[in-house]
Amino acid sequence: VTHNDTDTTVSEYLADVAHRVSDLPLLQRRELLADLESHIEAERIERNAESPGQLLEILERLGSPEEIAAAARAEAPAGASPPPVPAAPRRRPGVVVAVVVTAVVLLLFLIVAVLSFFVSGGESSEPAFPAPLPGQSALPTPDDPPAPLESAPR
Amino acid sequence: MADVAQLSTSLRRGTLEFCVLAMVEKEDRYGTEIVRRFGEERNLAASEGTVYPLLSRLRRVGWLDSRWSESPTGPPRRYYRLTDAGRAALQHFRTEWISFRQTVDRLVGTDAA
DSSP character at residue A144: B
* Minimum distance, in Å, between the CA of residue B109 and any CA atom of chain A: 32
pLDDT in tens, A27-49: 999 999 999 999 999 999 988 88
Instruction: Answer for the pair B105, B111: CB distance below 8 angstroms, yes or no.
Output: yes
Tell me the residue type at A79. Answer: G
pLDDT in tens, B96-110: 999 999 999 999 999
Rounded CA gap, B3 and A154, in Å?
Answer: 84
Instruction: Give how far the C-alpha of residue B52 lies from the chain's centroid of Cα atoms, to the nearest Å.
Output: 11
pLDDT in tens, B56-77: 999 999 999 999 999 888 889 9
**Nearest Cβ partner for A36 among B46, B49, B73:** B49
Predicted local confidence at residue A96, as pLDDT: 67
B-interface mutation test, from A13, A37, A39, most B Cβ less than 10 A away: A39
Beta-carbon-side half-sphere exposure of residue A40 (alpha carbons within 13 Å): 24
Contacts of A130 (CB under 8 A, 6+ apart): none
ipTM above 0.90, yes or no: no
Instruction: Answer for the pair A21, A31: CB distance below 8 angstroms, yes or no.
Output: no
Residues of B in contact with A72 (CB under 8 A): 53, 56
Gyration radius (Cα) of chain A, Å:
33
* Minimum distance, in Å, between the CA of residue A86 and any CA atom of chain B: 22
Instruction: Answer for the pair A43, A56: CB distance below 8 angstroms, yes or no.
Output: no
Contact A38 B35 (CB under 8 A): no
Stated pTM of the model? 0.67
